[in-house]
Amino acid sequence: MRRVLVVAALLAATGCVQKIAESRVRSALLDAGLSERNAECMAGRMVDRLSIAQLRKLERLEGEKRSLADYVVAVRRVGDTEAIAVTASSAALCATGLAR
């Protein structure tokens, strides 16, 4: 019984961490100038597919990012192929409405 409680606590903590990460990514995307709809959509996909270390790299992006395309160009400067692929595919799917 005790193991079940420990596992349940760990799963709950993981869910909390994911919610916090998603909130931070969404805020960063909004600060970068993305629409609320795109930021919401992309944040969920990015948190599911990227590590915390990769998300932190993206958090430190600098430069002007006035549009979705500008943001993807800025991500390319990070040099992380997985982060670029996830960001670009998320941007495309979210902008077209194929992902929510």
The per-residue pLDDT for range 3-38, each reduced to its tens digit, is: 645 444 444 545 667 788 889 899 988 888 888 999
pTM metric for this prediction: 0.78
Cα–Cα distance measured from residue 20 to residue 29, given in angstroms and rounded to the nearest whole number: 14
For residues 29-54, average pLDDT: 91
Who contacts 45 (Cβ-Cβ below 8 Å, separation ≥6)? 86, 89, 90, 93, 94, 99
Binned at pLDDT 50, 70 and 90, residue 1 comes out as low
Residue 69 is predicted with a pLDDT of 86
